[in-house]
Every structure is written in C-alpha cells, then in structure tokens.
Amino acid sequence: MSEELKARVLRIGTLIEYQDGAVVSREIIRKDTGTVTIFAFDKGEGLSEHTAPFDAMVQIIDGKAEITISGNKNILEKGDMIVMPASEPHSLHALEKFKMVLTMIRS
C-alpha cells in the first residue's frame, strides 16, 4: 500500500477511473494474509471463468455486474456483495460500467 493512502479518509470510487474497452485495477493492500484490490470494468468487459485457491469477497461500489459462480448467475448492483468460495469456478461480466472492491483472504 502506498504511503499516501494510509491513515486518511478516501472515497473509494475516486481511486480508480473507467477506461474505454478495458478492465483497470489498483491494488490497495498486499499482505501475506490477503489483498484488497479495486477494479473498474467498462460495459461489456469482464473476466473469463477461472478459479482461485482462496476465498474472495466482491463488493460493488458502482454500476451493475453479472458474477457467475459454479454456473449460478448473480446480478449485483451498487451496494451488493458476494463471497466467491475457494476453488469454485467464477467469471465476471459488466452489464454496465461497474467498479468493485475485491478482498482476497489467504489461508
């Protein structure tokens, strides 16, 4: 985590900007025990199905996304969150531009 982010109030939505036709990310915290990363997805962008060895939580801070976990589609909007269990296949698709916070817990 960069020093300018520590011990001060930040508006999470302003820490990352949308880019046309892209997925943008910015790592906020990196520790041996886990990470916190913010993402901005342009409409129509996404992450293809993959797995992760750790539990992760997604919090939508702007927009609307479809998050599929083990074949189950979930529509999330600003203020929603979902836990993606370790080793479960998941994918993300921007139904409209959206920003999210990804918290990954390593165990």
Question: What pTM did the predictor assign?
Answer: 0.90
CA distance 49 to 55: 15
Task: Tell me what pLDDT residue 7 has.
Answer: 80
Per CATH, domain 25-105 is 2.60.120.10 = yes
pLDDT tops 80 at residue 52: yes
- Tens digit of pLDDT for each residue in 57-84? 999 999 999 999 999 999 999 999 999 9
Domain ranges of the chain: 25-105
CA distance 50 to 46: 12
